[in-house]
Amino acid sequence: MKNGKPVVLVVEDSPMIRMGAVDLVLSAGYEALEAGDADEAIRILQSRADIDLVFTDVQMPGTMDGIKLSHYIRDRWPPVKLIVASGAAIIEESMLPGGSRFFSKPYDELTITEAMAQLLSHQHPHFPIS
């Protein structure tokens, strides 16, 4: 959390969809960061300790898709909340790390902002990773 606002990292390879998702995050009152793929998202997560939630697409170029990224984040940064979205695949939430939420694209913006608010209201203190 930075300046009292939760920080949301949007991971989306399509610039137009990413811009829309960033606008959605900002309009919900959160700080928005953006990454074009999982590798960039991991670099941002490694460089900042204030990211509260990652909102990622499933299908992306690079070394991992959004599902693998969400598991990597859960293993490496357990307190970070996760929202995963896909226009091509319907993902069972059981395929995602515990506590993650999945939404099909096109998603309803109100549904996403409500999910963000719900996940962020259940914040846990950032525990040191041993």
Q: What number is the average pLDDT over the span 30-49?
A: 97
Closest CA to 115 of 1, 50, 5, 24: 24
Closest CA to 108 of 129, 76, 74, 85: 85
Residue 62's SS3 state is coil
pLDDT greater than 60 at residue 16 = yes
pLDDT digits (tens, 9 = 90+) for 96-110: 898 899 988 888 899
Residue 80 pLDDT class (50, 70, 90 cuts)? very high
Domain ranges, ordered by start, for the chain: 7-121
Supply the CATH classification number for the domain 7-121.
3.40.50.2300
Residue 25's SS3 state is helix
Q: How many CB atoms lie within 10 A of CB 122?
A: 8
% of residues, the chain, pLDDT over 70: 89
The pLDDT mean for the chain works out to 89
Highest-scoring range by mean pLDDT, 3-7, 16-20, 83-87: 16-20
Q: Which residue has the higher pLDDT, 123 or 61?
A: 61
pLDDT greater than 80 at residue 54 = yes
